[in-house]
């Protein structure tokens, strides 16, 4: 029986061949599996990193494109506005040059103005200027009319303003007329016939009134300069007294006086009546009325005096005293 030939083994320096040829143990198998997992994780992370980089690049490209489009639109709008503004500036320059012309109306504006937009701008400016000018002229005319009306009203006052200065006083029946003669009237020689002023005129009565004047102690005080009509009427009544001598006549005198800054009053009007009543008559009646126009100053005072207070019969419709300003 023959023996098998001996096999020859060759040794190599390659580690891979040695590793393959050597049988693996349990520790070596587990380490190889862990290395495979690590290799897979590295490949997955590299893939996600590439995807992220691609997404960022795409987003950046989109933003850049959007900004480019936005700026392009804005620049086009700005160019359009600038073009319109430049045309308006040219129109304004042309209009400004027209001021140097001797008479712009003699020149053809259509020839001077190059385009339609400039013509529209010029027409709108003209209409605006005309509207503003008309408003200013209208306001000025209204102001001048108001001033003229005020000046006319001041230069020529209304008639009602003159008539506002008036007074009318009466005597009520049974009212006291006075205490005695006035010292101012007694001192003057021309007032010997009417020395007794009537001091109790009634102002608060339905038949009395006073406007722009004042009253005190029988005197009407003037507050405005001007022409005044002054009037007065006194009703005298003589009553025969018992056990008295029959009188053949009585002197009935009424005076309208003006008191100024002078010491003595100034006599304005004087009415006189001398009556002879029958001896057997129980009473006699007589009235004295007078009036006139006089120039009066502010501060002048008017009052009425009579020859006898005892013979004055107080009656509201027969005795009155007043004045009013004239519109002359």
Would you say how long the chain is, in residues? 328
Please give the annotated binding residues, written as ranges: 276
Q: Which residues lie across from 273 on neighbouring strands?
A: 252
Backbone angles phi, psi at 193, to 5 degrees: -85, -20
Name which CATH class applies to 163-325. Answer: mainly beta
Q: Which residues of 245-275 are buried (b: 16+ CB within 10 A; e: fewer)?
A: eeeeebebbbbbbbbeeeeebebbbbbeeee
Residue 162: how many other CB atoms lie within 10 Å: 19
Distance CA 180, CA 171 (A): 17
Distance CA 318, CA 312 (A): 10
Residue 123: how many other CB atoms lie within 10 Å: 12
Q: What is the pLDDT of residue 162?
A: 47
Q: What is the pLDDT of residue 145?
A: 79
Which pTM value belongs to this model? Answer: 0.48
Domain limits, the chain: 115-155, 163-325
One pLDDT digit (tens) per residue for the chain, 328 residues: 455 555 555 555 555 544 455 555 555 556 666 666 676 677 777 888 888 899 899 988 998 998 888 888 888 887 776 655 666 677 777 666 665 655 555 545 555 555 666 777 777 777 888 888 888 988 888 888 777 776 655 555 444 444 579 999 998 776 666 565 665 555 544 456 788 999 989 888 888 999 999 999 999 999 999 999 999 999 988 766 555 555 555 778 999 999 998 889 999 999 988 776 666 666 667 889 999 999 999 999 999 999 888 888 888 888 999 999 998 6
Please give the annotated binding residues for Zn(2+), written as ranges: 276
């Amino acid at each position: 029986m023959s023996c098998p030939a001996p096999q020859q083994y060759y040794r190599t320096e390659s580690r891979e061949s040695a590793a393959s040829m050597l049988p693996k143990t349990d520790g070596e198998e587990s380490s190889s599996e862990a290395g495979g997992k690590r290799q897979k994780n590295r490949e997955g992370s590299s893939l996600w990193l590439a995807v992220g980089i691609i997404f960022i690049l795409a987003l950046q490209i989109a933003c850049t494109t959007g900004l480019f489009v936005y700026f392009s639109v804005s620049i086009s709008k700005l160019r359009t506005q600038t073009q319109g503004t430049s045309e308006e500036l040219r129109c304004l320059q042309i209009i400004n040059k027209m001021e140097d012309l001797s008479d712009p109306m003699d020149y053809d504006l259509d020839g001077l103005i190059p385009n339609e937009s400039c013509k529209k701008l010029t027409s709108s400016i003209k209409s605006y200027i005309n509207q503003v000018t008309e408003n200013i002229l209208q306001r000025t005319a209204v102001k001048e009319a108001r001033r003229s009306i005020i000046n006319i009203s001041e230069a020529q006052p209304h008639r009602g303003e003159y008539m506002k200065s008036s007074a009318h006083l009466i005597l009520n029946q049974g009212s006291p007329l006075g205490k005695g003669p006035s010292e101012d009237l007694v001192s003057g020689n021309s007032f010997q016939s009417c020395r007794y002023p009537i001091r109790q005129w009634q102002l608060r009565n339905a038949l009395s009134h006073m406007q722009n004047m004042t009253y005190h102690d029988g005197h009407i005080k003037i507050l405005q300069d001007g022409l005044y009509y002054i009037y007065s009427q006194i009703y005298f009544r003589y009553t025969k007294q018992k056990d008295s001598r029959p009188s053949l006549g009585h002197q009935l005198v009424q005076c309208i006086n003006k008191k100024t800054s002078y010491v003595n009053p100034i006599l304005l009007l004087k009415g006189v009546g001398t009556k002879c009543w029958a001896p057997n008559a129980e009473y006699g009646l007589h009235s004295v009325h007078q009036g006139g126009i006089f120039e009066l100053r502010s501060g002048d005072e008017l009052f009425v005096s009579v020859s006898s207070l005892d013979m004055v019969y107080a009656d509201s419709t027969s005795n009155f005293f007043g004045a009013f300003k004239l519109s002359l």
